[in-house]
Amino acid sequence: MKWIRSFHPGRRAILAAALATLSGASAVPTTGGQDGPAAAGRADPPTLEGWTRGKGWGWIWGPKDEVGSLNAMSDRSRGEALRLASEGKSYDLGQAYSRRSFRWAGHNPGEVMTFRSPDRIAAMGDPDAPPPGTNPDRIHWHSCALFISDNVGTQIDGLGHVTAGADDHWYNGFTEADWGGDFGIRKCDATTIPPIIARGVMVDVAAWKGVDALPAHTVITAEDLQAALDRQGVAIRPGDVVLIRTGAGRYWGDEGADHETIAEHDSAGLDLAATRWLVEQQGAMMVGSDTSGFEVSPPPPGTGSMIPVHKYLLVDQGVHIGELHNLEALSRDEVFEFCYVASTNKIKGTTAGFALRPIALR
Amino acid sequence: MKWIRSFHPGRRAILAAALATLSGASAVPTTGGQDGPAAAGRADPPTLEGWTRGKGWGWIWGPKDEVGSLNAMSDRSRGEALRLASEGKSYDLGQAYSRRSFRWAGHNPGEVMTFRSPDRIAAMGDPDAPPPGTNPDRIHWHSCALFISDNVGTQIDGLGHVTAGADDHWYNGFTEADWGGDFGIRKCDATTIPPIIARGVMVDVAAWKGVDALPAHTVITAEDLQAALDRQGVAIRPGDVVLIRTGAGRYWGDEGADHETIAEHDSAGLDLAATRWLVEQQGAMMVGSDTSGFEVSPPPPGTGSMIPVHKYLLVDQGVHIGELHNLEALSRDEVFEFCYVASTNKIKGTTAGFALRPIALR
Amino acid sequence: MKWIRSFHPGRRAILAAALATLSGASAVPTTGGQDGPAAAGRADPPTLEGWTRGKGWGWIWGPKDEVGSLNAMSDRSRGEALRLASEGKSYDLGQAYSRRSFRWAGHNPGEVMTFRSPDRIAAMGDPDAPPPGTNPDRIHWHSCALFISDNVGTQIDGLGHVTAGADDHWYNGFTEADWGGDFGIRKCDATTIPPIIARGVMVDVAAWKGVDALPAHTVITAEDLQAALDRQGVAIRPGDVVLIRTGAGRYWGDEGADHETIAEHDSAGLDLAATRWLVEQQGAMMVGSDTSGFEVSPPPPGTGSMIPVHKYLLVDQGVHIGELHNLEALSRDEVFEFCYVASTNKIKGTTAGFALRPIALR
Amino acid sequence: MKWIRSFHPGRRAILAAALATLSGASAVPTTGGQDGPAAAGRADPPTLEGWTRGKGWGWIWGPKDEVGSLNAMSDRSRGEALRLASEGKSYDLGQAYSRRSFRWAGHNPGEVMTFRSPDRIAAMGDPDAPPPGTNPDRIHWHSCALFISDNVGTQIDGLGHVTAGADDHWYNGFTEADWGGDFGIRKCDATTIPPIIARGVMVDVAAWKGVDALPAHTVITAEDLQAALDRQGVAIRPGDVVLIRTGAGRYWGDEGADHETIAEHDSAGLDLAATRWLVEQQGAMMVGSDTSGFEVSPPPPGTGSMIPVHKYLLVDQGVHIGELHNLEALSRDEVFEFCYVASTNKIKGTTAGFALRPIALR
């Protein structure tokens, strides 16, 4: 198999140790000096404020914090990331959203409706229309009204999206009783997500497996990720935005209207161990993928819920999740390292950035 | 007055010539060699593909084009702009939008509504909720449904927003009969606006005038802009994103709830001549401001409509307009030149990017 | 077969003559004196202002009329209808609508969202909430926001719902260019539908055929209707509201969530000839059924469109159509004649009354 | 003063006794035999199942009941009410609702948006449109999408609209924790409001006072009501729907767009004592008015909340409240007694019937 040839034994040892850590009670990192030359070439990732190897991030930014791991961004880290963009090439990672787009059935459907239109404004002559005498050039306008979910299209899940426990708490212990509301959440809404500018690493799992897209329900493991990274010759560093390509994004097309095909491939994703490896061993500051859920669906049995990875990332670690990112052009051009730039809508109460257009810069 | 001292006579002459051009039938640029040393220091801005001094942009990108002046972006121009971001400093130019935010009365109101919430999902046990047996960790979620206009909050007007003439055409001659629709416009919707990465120049008119914010209905002229630029020691170059600060943005606060104060100051803006000077003489690829309309309201008499500047920019020139940009921090830090990065939502049919969070990078 | 036994030959002759009329160019009624005793028992229905046998209704109420055949209601006709309600029994003909309800895919989906809720109003303390000092009894409230189509649930289609021809006209010649709009239609909207109080006749086709519900795509003919009426011993009179029971309504249940079963049976309905017989020979002032479309779907080939019956009723005749009426209890109790009372929502611009609860009174 | 002349002393005594009861702890009715001839002419209203003089209704219909006092309707009561409609005259009591209509600021705004329109369906040729080959008659359609509150226009408040106490309970003890939800309330939603058919009595307070409309904040007392009833020569009977006319409805006009005038007069209404008199002494099964809130606003000091009458009626008594009923034509024609017929939308979760069109029949 392709991945066996490209997978260095020494790296396997590191990974095994790391995975052992993840599954044990110990939080002590075990990446060790006993590794051979191949491993030596992979120096321990440098540390970063807020991040601890073997532990990741967590509720470490003070009791009022709503930002989580993105607090680790600094002028220095942004500056370094931006220097990756020396060519001035820009990749639009957004998938176009429309009323016909695939979405999770538990979110509300959407409509984009022409609200005002020039011919009708002229015909109606309603109070909002310009009086004809003031409008010899016949200037009118279009606007749209949207009914839309804050969890559709290319997204970044906010830290209040998922809750856990009897008190329905989210990141940093904010509870429904205290911070829920009729108009969305009142802590960790999308307005608290700062513009994200960081080194991005795309892990092309589909390319590494040599498939158009991973089959339905494929579990992506830490070993898969390491193997794909090795093939790419790129290492993750603490503070990175790590985007996983399953290939499902290729079926989005113009507006994500082929629900059946998308839904099938959309179910591939990471398991909890792979996610923990990314966060606790590699220092991912944010993770994402080209599917709507990032994690494999359904999760392996015994994981505590249908979305254990969401709970781990958003609630426990304070790590945002990017979803439905279009990684096709990056894959085609074999762009594995870039400057990732994303800024969500700034709408109070919303639980995620939606219908976004993140950018990868080279 | 402050601006007289900082305004060089030679530059006045250039400006006068330019303004004469704007008001005449001739499209030949007249910035000339008769100017003294001061003018000599202001070399003609370099040219750029698609832009012609004295003419600006226009319908020059082919009959199918939906992008307008943003076509002038290139890897080279983006690379140059990104090199302005050497410090890694990031300014969030978005104003937070909520149900209470100021908006133009002709756009639909908005609501951000809690759609799913953890306690209720648990209590309701409806078909979308996870069966309790599969959910020992009691993991639930929040999501919001939004009813919202595509013309609220920090915006970038698309080239199909405004129409003109008996055929209700917009940029590049797309007409309502051919390209209107029930679900928004079918040419020049916001999905066609590429990620914008360009040199940004902020013209702090309020600071130059020494006021918190310009009084209601203040007309900003080309002379004002030149004077403010001179004070700042910054020149516009073809291909720039030019953002005008009136100071109105300081009244937005947490969510734009003080409609009365915002509305008053929101009426200051550029007249058509100043806008033409930016586009035709200076080469602005995109313009914007901290108000909801960019242009002065009401316009001077005899301008053909209530929004002559919108018509000129969007329909005739194919130049996008940024609105309600938060320029307060840039003003405070005297950041007049930066890398402007903005990407709109990617929603089919929409006429503008809305509730955005553009970034200024230094 | 059951229906043969109950179908009188003389009536067959009347019906044949009537159907011949419908298919010919002649508008002269041919119900004649050559019929035998059985037919003699069926006296010609009395005439009614506005209605002409063999022609029906039409654009006869003046160029400004938006009401159509419902103009035929009078104090006298209402009084007579109300006298049918001597027992004081009330049947609720509405089907409950929810986010999960079956609807035609071309209409927008719907959501009923909790907008304000007592615990959250108290927790949020937002400007709309009562200040605690004024609220010692802790009084709060619930309200809902709805995103909904005006063509869902138990409906009465308005006369502007369907358009025809190159000028996109509807009833009485109102055209899109003149009377369309951004906020719904400006002629024949649901506010123009008067409270409907008339004699109602339910034609239980499913019971006559001895089936739970008609199979998919069943064409209901005029002969079927006459046979079912004969079985019931009830005759239609000019000015009646005639409701056809296919049995599809029995699958609606609590909220119309079983889309597959409903969709299958929902396709049974009248063809154009049967509809014309109801209107032109029997004088139906309004027609309706327990399906979402009244007419059979798809229509027989060569009928000019997918909805020839809608076009005939709404555009040509000015006859409103009732849809998704719950006729199950009427069938169970064999109530075939009653006082029908319905009043639509009074919302400007809407094209139909929706999620209604018409009443049958005995 | 006019009302003194028409107010019989004996009746005053009854009223005084009744009011004494209302303000005291005693629940024992005190309408007594000691009254003189005038009072003797006013026989005690007959009793009705569920209603107790001096107590009214309440939580008496069993622990699962969601209907409240409307349970008192019977075939007999409906039959009697319908017999009032001998003339066949119909009065439409609905006010037309539009995006411009007056509403309480705490409810969400509304829009009625053209969703599909014939010219655009034809031009777009989207998947929902009929293929041209199947549509030689060019048949298309209009539909609207609505974003709307369930508390606008002519309304009937449901028994779950208002909550009280630390457990946020509504009628019959249903609590938010148990029966709240994301999609509206799950007990006492509008689908549980049966079609209402009852004797209606309109109390024309404005006419009795000889004014167009009551001044802002006018408190309507039980004495006022009795006086107006005396003037009209009509008595309330247990089981009646009692509608109070303040005259505010005359300012609604075409669509309720004159917010200022409406808001001013909208503040007149009943105080708690008058409401208790209607329910506990007169046996009103439902009450209503031509204002948006029925009760006087603000309430007299010390009443426990801003809406003590709502709490009393909806929570404690289980009595529905009709609001914004158009009583102008009834007043003009001096129709004080009629058959009231109303049926709300049948939408799951909703807290009120909205934009209704109740009918008064004579």
As a whole-number percent, the residues of chain C with pLDDT over 90 amount to 83
The total of other beta-carbon atoms located within 10 Å of residue A125's CB is 12
The total of other beta-carbon atoms located within 10 Å of residue B272's CB is 19
Give the tokens for residue B134.
Answer: 């599969």
D121 touches chain B (CB under 8 A): yes
Q: pLDDT by residue (tens digit) across C146-176? A: 999 999 999 999 999 999 999 999 999 999 9
Torsion, CA B193, CA B195, CA B198, CA B200, rounded to 10:
80
Tell me the CA end-to-end span of chain D in Å, nearest whole number.
32
Q: pLDDT by residue (tens digit) across D229-283? A: 999 999 999 999 999 999 999 999 999 999 999 999 999 999 999 999 999 999 9
Give A289's DSSP letter. Answer: E
Q: Using CB atoms, which residue from D100, D127, D145 is nearest to A113?
A: D145
Q: Using CB atoms, which residue from C120, C147, C177 is nearest to A123?
A: C177
- Pick the closest to residue D39 from D70, D1, D66, D10 (CA basis): D10
How high does pLDDT run on average in chain B? Answer: 90
Q: Nearest CA of chain B to the CA of A37: how many Å? A: 35
Reduced DSSP (H G I as helix, E B as strand, rest coil) percent helix, strand, coil of chain C, to 5: 30, 20, 50
Q: Which residues of C110-144 are buried (b: 16+ CB within 10 A; e: fewer)?
A: bbbbbbbbbbbbbbbebeebbeeeebeebbbbbbb
DSSP helix/strand/coil, D134 = helix
Residue bearing tokens 């601006």: B3
| pTM score | 0.90
pLDDT at C249 > cutoff 50 = yes
pLDDT at B133 (0 to 100): 84
Are A159 and A322 in contact by the 8 Å Cβ rule? The answer is no
The reply to whether residue D348 touches residue C144, judged by beta carbons under 8 angstroms, is: no
Residue bearing tokens 């209590």: B123
Chain C CB contacts of A116 below 8 Å: 182
Q: pLDDT by residue (tens digit) across D82-141? A: 999 999 999 999 999 999 999 998 999 999 999 999 999 999 999 889 887 889 999 999
Alpha helices by DSSP H, listed for D103-196, are 118-124, 176-179
Give the relative orientation of helices A222-232 and A9-23 as an angle to the nearest 10 degrees: 150
A&C contacts, CB < 8 Å: 45
D165: left (phi over 0), alpha (psi -120 to 50) or beta: left
- Pick the closest to residue D144 from C192, B182, C294 (CA basis): B182
Length of chain D: 362
DSSP helix/strand/coil, D68 = helix
Query: How many CA atoms lie less than 13 Å away from A362 in the CB half-sphere?
Result: 13
E-only strand ranges, chain B: 90-92, 111-116, 140-141, 143-149, 155-157, 162-163, 196-204, 219-220, 241-245, 269-270, 286-289, 320-323, 337-342, 352-353, 359-361
Chain A CB contacts of D120 below 8 Å: 114
Average pLDDT over every residue of A153-166: 98
**Chain D: residue nearest A183 by CA?**
D108
Separation between Cα atoms, residue B97 and residue B95, nearest integer Å:
6
pLDDT at A211 > cutoff 50 = yes
Torsion, CA D119, CA D121, CA D122, CA D125, rounded to 10:
150
pLDDT at D161 > cutoff 70 = yes
D126 touches chain C (CB under 8 A): no
pLDDT at C14 > cutoff 80 = no
- Pick the closest to residue D222 from D171, D285, D296 (CA basis): D296
Q: What is the enclosing helix (H) or strand (E) of C329?
A: helix C328-332
Average pLDDT over every residue of B13-34: 41
Chain B CB contacts of D121 below 8 Å: 182
pLDDT at B35 > cutoff 50 = no
C40 touches chain B (CB under 8 A): no
Q: Using CB atoms, which residue from B74, B82, B145 is nearest to A361?
A: B82
Task: Output Rg (C-alpha) for chain B, integer angstroms.
Answer: 22
Q: Nearest CA of chain C to the CA of D171: how many Å? A: 12
Q: pLDDT by residue (tens digit) across C35-85? A: 333 333 444 556 688 999 999 999 999 999 999 999 999 999 999 999 999
Residue bearing tokens 């304070």: A318
pLDDT at B298 (0 to 100): 95
Give A277's DSSP letter. Answer: I
The total of other beta-carbon atoms located within 10 Å of residue C9's CB is 10
**Chain B: residue nearest C126 by CA?**
B100
* C 265-304 near D (Cβ less than 8 A): 304
Sign of CA dihedral D335, D340, D346, D348: positive
**Chain D: residue nearest A182 by CA?**
D182
Separation between Cα atoms, residue C337 and residue C80, nearest integer Å:
12
DSSP helix/strand/coil, C214 = coil
Are D158 and D192 in contact by the 8 Å Cβ rule? The answer is yes
- CA angle C61/C65/C67 to nearest 5° reads 95
pLDDT at C134 (0 to 100): 87
A128 touches chain C (CB under 8 A): no
Separation between Cα atoms, residue D70 and residue D66, nearest integer Å:
10
Q: pLDDT by residue (tens digit) across D40-52? A: 344 555 668 899 9
Average pLDDT over every residue of C87-104: 97
pLDDT at D209 > cutoff 90 = yes
Chain D CB contacts of B123 below 8 Å: 177-178, 180-181
D114 touches chain B (CB under 8 A): yes
The reply to whether residue C194 touches residue D118, judged by beta carbons under 8 angstroms, is: no
Q: Which of A195-199, C25-29, C131-135 has the highest mean pLDDT?
A: A195-199
Q: pLDDT by residue (tens digit) across A139-150? A: 999 999 999 999
Give D60's DSSP letter. Answer: -
For chain D, which domains are there?
56-99+150-361 (3.50.30.50), 111-147 (no CATH)
Q: Which residues of B36-53 are buried (b: 16+ CB within 10 A; e: fewer)?
A: eeebeebeebeebebbbb
Sign of CA dihedral B67, B72, B73, B75: positive
Are C249 and C293 in contact by the 8 Å Cβ rule? The answer is no
A123 touches chain C (CB under 8 A): yes
pLDDT at D131 (0 to 100): 86
Query: Strands B140-141 and D352-353: what pairing?
Result: unpaired
Give B315's DSSP letter. Answer: I
- Pick the closest to residue A144 from B347, C104, C156, B236 (CA basis): B347
Q: Could you please report the per-residue DSSP string of C299-328? A: PPTTSSSS-HHHIIIIIII--EEEES---H
Q: Using CB atoms, which residue from A108, A117, A180 is nearest to C120?
A: A180
Separation between Cα atoms, residue D240 and residue D237, nearest integer Å:
6
Separation between Cα atoms, residue A24 and residue C173, nearest integer Å:
78
Chain A CB contacts of C183 below 8 Å: 124, 126
Q: Using CB atoms, which residue from D109, D113, D181 is nearest to B109?
A: D109
Are A187 and A63 in contact by the 8 Å Cβ rule? The answer is no
How far CA C313 is from CA of A56, C16, C280, in Å, comes to: 68, 22, 11
Q: Nearest CA of chain B to the CA of C179: how many Å? A: 16
pLDDT at C182 (0 to 100): 98
Q: Nearest CA of chain D to the CA of B182: how many Å? A: 6
Give the tokens for residue D21.
Answer: 């009861």
Residue bearing tokens 């929409």: B350
Separation between Cα atoms, residue D244 and residue D206, nearest integer Å:
9
**Long-range contacts formed by A132-135: CB under 8 A, 24+ apart:** A134/B305, A134/B306, A135/B304, A135/B305, A135/B306
Chain D CB contacts of C257 below 8 Å: none
How far CA A301 is from CA of A16, A272, A307, A308, B135, in Å, comes to: 22, 12, 11, 11, 11
The reply to whether residue A111 touches residue D115, judged by beta carbons under 8 angstroms, is: yes
Q: Which residues of A310-332 are buried (b: 16+ CB within 10 A; e: fewer)?
A: bbbbbbebbbbbbbbbbbbebbe
The ipTM, to two decimals, is 0.89
How far CA A61 is from CA of A45, A238, A284, A317, in Å, comes to: 22, 17, 17, 11
- Amino acid sitting at position B316: D
**Chain B: residue nearest D112 by CA?**
B108
